[in-house]
Amino acid sequence: MTDSSPRTARRGRPRAFNDRAEQNTIRALDRAMALLHRLSLSDGMSLSDLAQDAGESPATVYRVMITLQGHGMVELDPTTQFWHVGAGTFRAGTAFLRRTSVVERARGPMQWLMRESGETANLGVEHGDEVLFLSQVETHQAIRAFFPPGTRSPMHVSGIGKALLAWIAPGRVRGIVARMGLERFTDRTLVTAEALEADLQATRGRGYAYDDEERAEGMRCIAAPVFNAHGEPVAGLSVSAPGFRLLAQAVPQTGALVAHAAAQVTEAIGGTVPELRGYSD
């Protein structure tokens, strides 16, 4: 007979897990994670730059980095004396990818999409109200888009982001917009809720989203959603390319390729493409 009393019950968190009071956080660990995050956004940083960026003393930052180095989370280049993210961080990060089969199942369709379109294929998901890129198959072109795994992007200026938003309930879309805002990146960025909703409606109608130089001038992206068994968007597949190669007149043809590849991934994970509906709350 199993004892389900609080004394022996297995829990992944204590009773007061929602309590974010200072006594329930570990300042040293919080400092280490903040430094690791800063390092992950760079191509390497010196100790002094890390310390200045974090507002900590070099001695404190050095102790943190040595501790992280001991676990393989960071590495020090002896020539440049720059700190870099280590292999241990990569191994920890891949555990996130193992939570879903979509990365593995998308690899074949992404390779097909790259060959057919001649452009870089990307896979991303919504995470923390942003697009998190999980995988990429690069084109062989000399000039190409580059979104390494772990890269994040605001959803309203991402082809994948808009492909996901188009099939998310309107109430949740409004929540994301309220929390994240609609920052302007170029003259083409959609910076009003009305403009974004019109674009999402068009996305639902044609089956793919179109980022027309809305995040970066000269770069275009076409994306389509991947659905789970409940018809919910769980990922997005895209191609991204310089505008001089991905011309406006080629968008419908490329969009059909992207939508086909996304549908292949949906089928591979046992998903269902939802019927177009009113998308009321």
Instruction: Tell me which residue of 180, 116, 117, 124 sits closest to 147, measured CA to CA.
Output: 124
Asked if residue 67 has pLDDT above 50, the reply is yes
Q: How confident is the model at residue 196 (pLDDT cuts 50, 70, 90)?
A: very high
Element (H, E) at 13: none
What mean pLDDT do residues 15-30 have?
62
DSSP 8-state code for residue 250:
G
pLDDT of residue 1: 45
Asked if residue 87 has pLDDT above 70, the reply is yes
Query: Which range in 134-148, 237-251, 252-266 is most confidently predicted, on average pLDDT?
Result: 252-266
What mean pLDDT do residues 191-220 have?
95
Structural domains of the chain sorted by starting position, each given as residue range(s) with its CATH number in brackets: 22-89 (1.10.10.10), 99-268 (3.30.450.40)
Q: How confident is the model at residue 37 (pLDDT cuts 50, 70, 90)?
A: confident
Q: How many CB atoms neighbour CB 255 within 10 A?
A: 20
Compute the Cα dihedral for 260, 265, 270, 275 and give only its sign. Answer: negative
Q: Are 168 and 233 in contact (CB under 8 A)?
A: yes
Q: How many CB atoms neighbour CB 105 within 10 A?
A: 21
Percent of the chain's residues with pLDDT above 70: 85
Q: Are 255 and 209 in contact (CB under 8 A)?
A: no
Q: How far apart are the C-alpha atoms of 262 and 267, rounded to whole Å?
A: 9
Asked if residue 164 has pLDDT above 90, the reply is yes
Q: Are 162 and 192 in contact (CB under 8 A)?
A: no
The values of phi and psi at residue 219, to 5°, are -120, 135
Structure tokens at 46: 């010196």
Q: Are 123 and 143 in contact (CB under 8 A)?
A: no
Asked if residue 8 has pLDDT above 70, the reply is no
Helices (H), 77-206: 87-97, 102-117, 159-165, 170-180, 193-206
pLDDT of residue 123: 96
